[in-house]
Amino acid sequence: MASIDNDFLFQDEHEESEETATSSSETPWKILIVDDEKDVHEVTKMALSGFVFKNRELTYLHAYSAQEGKALVRNHSDIALAIVDVVMETETSGLELVYFIRQTLKNRLIRLILRT
């Protein structure tokens, strides 16, 4: 058990806004993680590591605020899933991002998961 904990604590950090974990020839699914806590990004990637759906692996986009999330959604129309923290800069930042995606951009394709 201690070995697993140490592996997680000392795992290499990635500073890129987009990182790909793919070796297949299929285009990976883009997953947007929007959370103001870096640890949540790391745990989410760890939980989804090795996951393949319909022969496509995952690539991650990282936003640490609702504003960053908006910019990434504007620039990446092919995001398959957004995992959004509700409370970030304000108590409703995540909800405002969801409203922006659905109402302003009229994007009904992105799957949304809200977490608190």
Q: Give the residue extent of every domain in the chain.
A: 2-115
pTM to 2 decimal places: 0.78
Give the three-class secondary structure for 2.
helix
pLDDT of residue 24: 55
Q: Domain 2-115 has what CATH class?
A: alpha beta
- What single-letter amino acid sits at 50? G
Whether residue 8 is predicted with pLDDT greater than 90 in this model: the reply is: no
Cα pseudo-dihedral 61, 65, 68, 74, rounded to 10: 80
Q: Report the percent of the chain where pLDDT is more than 70.
A: 78
pLDDT of residue 26: 87
Q: Are strands 29-34 and 79-85 parallel, antiparallel or unpaired?
A: parallel
CB atoms within 10 A of CB 82: 25
Could you give the CA distance from residue 33 to residue 64 in angstroms, rounded to a whole number? 8
Cβ–Cβ under 8 Å, residues 34 and 61? no
pLDDT of residue 1: 44
Cβ–Cβ under 8 Å, residues 69 and 61? no
pLDDT of residue 6: 46
The phi, psi pair for 111, rounded to 5°, reads: -85, 135
Q: Give the pair of three-digit tokens for residue 14.
A: 């990635």
Could you give the CA distance from residue 97 to residue 70 in angstroms, rounded to a whole number? 7
Tens digits of residue pLDDT in 69-111:
999 999 999 999 999 999 999 999 999 999 999 999 999 999 9
